[in-house]
Structure 1
Amino acid sequence: MKTRDLLELIVLAAIWGGSFLFMRLGAAEFGAVALAGLRVIGASLCLLPLLWWQGHGGALREHWRPIALVGLTNSALPFVGFAVAATLIPGGMSGILNATAPLWGALIGYVWLKDRLDRWRVLGLALGFAGVLWLAGRKVNLPGGMDMGTLWAILACLGATLLYGFSANFTKRYLVGVPPMALAAGSQLSASLALGLPMLWAWPATPPSPSAWWSVLALAVVCTGLAYLLFFRLISHVGATKAISVTFLIPAFAMLWGALWMNEPVTGTMLSACALILLGTSLVTGLWQPGRREAA
């Protein structure tokens, strides 16, 4: 990987790690649904002009039905889930749970598309989900009783990553060959249409502060619109397998930004669970397989 591509990978991880911070800052005043709606609307306004400028509007019109479903399952619903979690748990914890998306993708691919699971991928699934159970068990079962808010937040994050896993397999099954910009812009547009009315219905009674609006702007323009462009640029330069390695850096930045800006604690439980989940993800995605010799 060239130095420039590596730097872009780190920048992308820092941006996506920052999304959990901005969700924490915005969700408290906007609420989960309004925050997610503004996020996808802002991203659409950034990506749609680029789509037409690149001349991929025809691809969007041709494949609008499956792209609309991807918008619902890869943006609208997961963004609401993570925004709900942002009101209940630290952003670093959400960032760790976000890393389970490749685990769900492999499991759904095995059940639905009959993708093969060798022994290393099976081990990766076991380690990854063991990390989730370790994190959930330590955070939910408190000395004074079960913390139901944390439990619901964890389930919201896992539901979001489950949908990410489904979306990846659905895209692989039905949208191979569709220009990435058509998929990115079209999915944000369909997510905007899906969340438009619910966003208005859930609009906060108290006007949000300027800082909350700045958080939404950063979430929509930087963490969604710009991040998509960087991600697809990386895929074109280094390939999908190396580009997906950004998953391993996101939790670190999510914990870093939360600790620096909101004084969120980084506990031993979070670090150990993160290590298990990322180890499992590395095996599931094939980024690391013991005994495999890489070509020079």
Structure 2
Amino acid sequence: LWRPLCVVGATTVAGQLIGMTFATPLIGTAMAAIFVAAIPLFSMVIGRLWGLERITLAGLTGLALGLLGMLLLVGFPAVPVTRSFVLGCAGSIFGALCAAYGSNYAALRLRTAGSWEVTCGAFLVGGLLTLPLLYWVPPPGVPSALDVFYLLLCGCMMSAFNYVVYFRLVSRIGATRAISVEFVVTVVAVLVGALWLHEPLSLVQGLGALIILAGCALVLG
């Protein structure tokens, strides 16, 4: 059981969070969230290669639309295409690939395991793998009591508890359909980034986001 948990912890938890956390300051919350919406596309391809998913004509059309949307998202930004922008896009894609890989691996190897056990094991492994990063990216100062509260809130409620529900969905309906909950994450994050944080998004990028969502809808049938 520990070997599959290590793989899921290294990908779905550590890899995904490292990629998205690295990318968000470079390209913004809204754009990073749009890349999250593309996770079902990667999941479909991995699931097909592993014999977990069946790609239909609608699925192939959705995959093509998703790739077109990502090209529009990266190729026509509202900000200059700098080294930081490219690295941010690469980090987002890396995080999305890790999420898709780990979810399919959990569906393949941990279908009979309980969602609480999978979540606890995956977060333990993910935490141990990301702990050394404190050496290269130390905290800017001593965390206050409020900082610790927000950290516990994000870690326990917004991540760990959600993963319990998520891994239960993976075992029941499959990785690609379970990942479709990321659509809600994308919508909320884009609205927060664009309206509250005033992050720029071009009209072409907005079109790309809609095309990605349409492609994922076709993939999910």
TM-score, with normalisation over the residues of structure 1? 0.66
Find out whether 1:216 has 2:154 as its counterpart: no
2 CA distance for matches of 1:212 and 1:86?
19
Q: CA deviation at 1:230?
A: 4.7
SS in 2 for 1:116: coil
Whole-Å separation in 2 of the counterparts to 1:152 and 1:226? 30
User: Is this contact kept in 1: 2:39–2:179, CA < 8 A?
Assistant: no
- Identify if the C-alpha distance between structure 1 residues 234 and 110 changes in structure 2 by more than 3 Å, giving closer, same or farther: closer
Match of 1:93? 31
Give 1:129's match in structure 2, choosing from 38, 59, 67.
67
Closer, same or farther: CA 237–158 of 1 in aligned 2, 3 Å: closer
Q: Hey, what does 2:16 align to over in structure 1?
A: 78
Residue identity over aligned pairs, in percent, reads 30
RMSD: 2.8
Secondary structure in 2 aligned to 1:88? Answer: helix
- In the alignment, which residue of structure 2 is the partner of 1:176? 111
Residues 83-133 of structure 1 deviation map (CA, whole Å, 9 limit, x = unaligned): 111211110111110011111111112223374311111001000111001
The yes-or-no answer on 1:276 pairing with 2:205 is: no
Between 109-118 and 225-234, report the one with greater CA deviation: 225-234
Q: Could you say what secondary structure the match of 2:54 adopts?
A: coil
1:153 aligns with 2:88: yes
Q: Which runs of 5+ in 1 are unaligned?
A: 1-62, 287-296
> How far apart, in 2, do the equivalents of 1:170 and 1:147 lie?
35
Distance across 2 between alignment mates of 1:129 and 1:195? 30
Match of 1:116 among 54, 67, 74: 54
- Note the alpha carbon deviations across 1:26-79, whole angstroms, 9 max, x for none: xxxxxxxxxxxxxxxxxxxxxxxxxxxxxxxxxxxxx12211110001111211
Contact 1:140 1:147 in 2 (8 A): no
Residue in structure 1 matched with residue 97 of structure 2 by the alignment: 162
- Find the aligned partners of 1:207 and 1:191 in 2 and give their Cα distance: 23
| Residue type at the aligned position of 1:121 | G
Residue number in structure 1 paired with 2:130: 195
Q: Tell whether the 8 Å contact from 1:140 to 1:150 is kept in structure 2 after alignment.
A: no
Max Rg structure: 1
Cα 1:209–1:274 shift into 2, 3 Å: farther
Q: CA deviation at 1:263?
A: 2.3
Post-superposition offset of 1:193: 1.5
For the residue of structure 1 that corresponds to 2:156, the secondary structure is helix
Residues 1:66 and 2:14 aligned together: no
Write out per-residue CA displacement over residues 130-184 of structure 1, whole angstroms, 9 at most, x where no aligned residue.
Answer: 1001100012884xxx322111111111111111111122122211211111111
Q: Any conservation in 2 of the 1:255–1:266 contact (CA below 8 Å)?
A: no
For 1:131, give the aligned amino acid.
G
From the superposition, tell whether residues 78 and 115 of structure 1 become closer, same or farther in structure 2 (CA, over 3 Å): same
Cα distance change of structure 1 residues 76 and 230 upon mapping to structure 2, 3 Å threshold: same
Contact 1:71 1:188 in 2 (8 A): yes
Instruction: Point out the more displaced range, 105-114 or 227-236.
Output: 227-236
Closer/same/farther in 2, CA of residues 280 and 236 from structure 1, 3 Å limit: same
Q: 1:267 to 1:213 in 2, by over 3 A?
A: farther
Q: 1:235 to 1:79 in 2, by over 3 A?
A: closer
Q: Shift in Å at residue 248 of structure 1?
A: 2.3
The answer (yes or no) to whether the contact 2:40–2:177 under 8 Å persists in 1 is: no
Per the alignment, do residues 135 and 240 of structure 1 end up closer, same or farther by CA in structure 2, a change over 3 Å counting? closer
Contact 2:8 2:106 in 1 (8 A): yes
SS state at 2:131 partner: helix
Partner of 2:77, secondary structure, is helix
Query: 1:206-229 CA distances to partner (integer Å, 9 max, x unpaired)?
Result: 446777655534421332023224
Of 175, 193, 197, which aligns to 1:258?
Answer: 193
SS of the aligned residue for 1:265 comes to coil
